[in-house]
Amino acid sequence: MLRLRPNRRPSAADLRSLFDGIDGSFLYHGAIDCPLYPRICTLSKSIVFSVPPYGRNEYFSGRDDVLETLFRELNDRSTNHYTRRITLHGLPGIGKTQIALEYAYEHRDDYAYVFWISGADRARLLSGFGEIASRTVGCHLSERPEDVAKRVLQWLQETEDWLLIIDNLDNMTVVDACLPDSENGHTIITTRSPNICGIPSISLPVVEMSHENSIKFLLLRLGNPEATENVREGAAQIVDALHRLPLAIDHAGAYIWRTKNVFEYLANFHACRQESLLDLTVSSIHNRTVATTWKLSFARLSPAAAKLLEYLAFMNPDEIVIDYLRAGATVLPLTLQTALKDPAQWRGLVQSLEVLWNCRFAGFGTRVCI
Ligand SMILES: Nc1ncnc2c1ncn2[C@@H]1O[C@H](COP(=O)(O)OP(=O)(O)O)[C@@H](O)[C@H]1O
Ligand SMILES: [Mg+2]
């Protein structure tokens, strides 16, 4: 039985207890407006779940240790209050965003609100707070984004059971005065910056995947989790050559899925790697590994698809609105202008980027993440 305390909004647990036992399907899929608390009572298990346009990663593998640590540290009430804020840091492509995403999906039922915003720059951060406001406290078009963010922070201070993920926060000044400072919820930050001392939080390094999990991931990516011993051995050699870097394994997986030949990939990779080693502009081992897998995949794209990828890479990794490209089509190369006008050609380009490059298209092809 739900007991509402005066002057206090019901917590997610209160709301769940109200609906537990009434009708499970209603609880999970239904939405009602509660006259007492109209703003927060649109009910599903997670009242608001706002993750990036791409869904849960069906190939997600391993990382049990990091996911467990995240859960333990975020829920540990015995130590200092920064345990409510965790920073995942590590090299680009190591898997920070995927871990945060998996955590959000795995624990969505533990929270009333799950919010995902980009910390790539101040404009995106504020736009993320605007999105949260539109789902919670409301906002007016005339309001300054900084003021909207302040109201959201105030709301987070007063509200329980939320998870806020700030992805790609590589420059700490972006969140100046915009970090929730409350014990009512959890904040997960992902950053590639090793210099995270500016943010009081538990710091959790993300390193390469384990040998076993890397093989598991590659075989899963190839749709062949029960591979023969021979193929498994080939996969083991590939993940080792790729230094067990998930981004590189994913690219290799997309390529092999197309060619259906694990062993050919290894030979091509080593040949292409020799060239990369000569390229002094590519510094670290990890960058060289990714550069090599990219070169191989890039070579298989049609000129138009390669051009499209080049343009997308200069825009935004999170979400690019295709209409934005259309609006500026006149400055694009002719091949892209033609493709944007011809649905069949456009579908072809999109498919090759999805298959070979693992770009994710969302919103019925209206947005793309690279
Ligand atoms: N645990 C994982 N299981 C499966 N794929 C993963 C995993 N971690 C990362 N990846 C793959 O590697 C790519 C890069 O990971 P991402 O989390 O975006 O890296 P980061 O945020 O550290 O730059 C993802 O797009 C995904 O394809
Ligand atoms: Mg990331």
155-174 residue pLDDT tens: 999 999 999 999 999 888 89
Of all protein residues, the one whose alpha carbon is nearest to atom 24 of ligand 1 is 247
Output the six-digit token pair for 358.
């693992």
Question: Can you identify the CATH homologous superfamily of domain 48-205?
Answer: P-loop containing nucleotide triphosphate hydrolases (3.40.50.300)
Residue 220 CA: nearest ligand 1 atom is 4
pLDDT tens for each residue of 325-340:
888 888 888 989 998 8
C-alpha of residue 17 to centroid of ligand 1, in Å: 36
Task: Report residue 123 CA to chain centroid gap.
Answer: 18
Neighbouring C-beta atoms of residue 190, cutoff 10 Å: 24
The pLDDT score that the predictor gives to residue 119 is 92
**Residue 205, φ and ψ in degrees, nearest 5:** -70, 145
Of all protein residues, the one whose alpha carbon is nearest to atom 16 of ligand 1 is 95
Ligand closest to the CA atom of residue 94: 1
- Show the ligand 1 pocket: residues with CB < 6 angstroms: 57, 59-63, 90, 92-98, 190, 217, 246-247, 250, 358
Our mutation pick for probing the ligand 1 site, out of 250, 251, 357, counting the most ligand atoms within 8 A of Cβ, is 250
C-alpha of residue 30 to centroid of ligand 2, in Å: 32
Of all protein residues, the one whose alpha carbon is nearest to atom 9 of ligand 1 is 95
Tell which wins on pLDDT, 355 or 230: 230
**Residue 56, φ and ψ in degrees, nearest 5:** -65, 145
pLDDT tens for each residue of 180-193:
988 889 999 999 88
Task: Write b or e for each residue in 28-53: b if 16 or more Cβ atoms lie within 10 A of its Cβ, otherwise e.
Answer: eeeeeeeeeeeebbebbbbbbbbbbe
Our mutation pick for probing the ligand 1 site, out of 247, 257, 360, counting the most ligand atoms within 8 A of Cβ, is 247
pLDDT band at 27 (very low <50, low <70, confident <90, very high): very low
pLDDT at 195 over 50: yes
Residue 100 CA: nearest ligand 1 atom is 17
Output the six-digit token pair for 38.
């109209």
Tell which wins on pLDDT, 213 or 17: 213
C-alpha of residue 12 to centroid of ligand 1, in Å: 31
Domain boundaries, the chain: 48-205, 211-299, 303-369
pLDDT band at 23 (very low <50, low <70, confident <90, very high): very low
pLDDT band at 39 (very low <50, low <70, confident <90, very high): very low
The pLDDT score that the predictor gives to residue 17 is 42
What is the rounded distance in angstroms from the CA atom of residue 181 to the CA atom of residue 88?
18
pLDDT tens for each residue of 51-92:
666 688 999 999 999 999 999 999 887 766 566 899 999 988
Region 116-132: mean pLDDT is: 92
What is the rounded distance in angstroms from the CA atom of residue 63 to the CA atom of residue 69?
10
Region 242-256: mean pLDDT is: 91
Tell which wins on pLDDT, 196 or 283: 196
C-alpha of residue 97 to centroid of ligand 2, in Å: 4
- Dihedral sign for Cα 270, 272, 277, 282, please: negative
Residue 228 CB contacts under 8 Å (≥ 6 apart), including other chains = none
Residue 63 CA: nearest ligand 1 atom is 1
Tell which wins on pLDDT, 45 or 6: 45
- Dihedral sign for Cα 266, 311, 370, 282, please: positive
Ligand closest to the CA atom of residue 167: 2
Query: Which ranges in the chain belong to alpha helices (H)?
Result: 12-19, 24-29, 64-75, 96-106, 122-135, 145-158, 211-221, 229-241, 246-259, 262-278, 285-299, 303-313, 322-327, 334-341, 343-357
Rounded to the nearest 10 degrees, the angle between the axes of helix 334-341 and helix 343-357 is 110
The pLDDT score that the predictor gives to residue 3 is 35
69 beta partners: none
Our mutation pick for probing the ligand 1 site, out of 51, 91, 98, 106, counting the most ligand atoms within 8 A of Cβ, is 98
pLDDT tens for each residue of 252-305:
998 898 888 888 898 888 888 766 555 555 557 777 788 888 888 888 888 888
C-alpha of residue 246 to centroid of ligand 1, in Å: 5
76 beta partners: none
C-alpha of residue 95 to centroid of ligand 1, in Å: 4
What is the rounded distance in angstroms from the CA atom of residue 144 to the CA atom of residue 174?
17
Q: Are 37 and 192 in contact (CB under 8 A)?
A: no
Residue 190 CA: nearest ligand 1 atom is 21
Output the six-digit token pair for 106.
């795995």
Residue 94 CA: nearest ligand 1 atom is 22
Q: How far is CA 213 from CA 14, 38, 156, 292, in A?
A: 39, 46, 37, 22
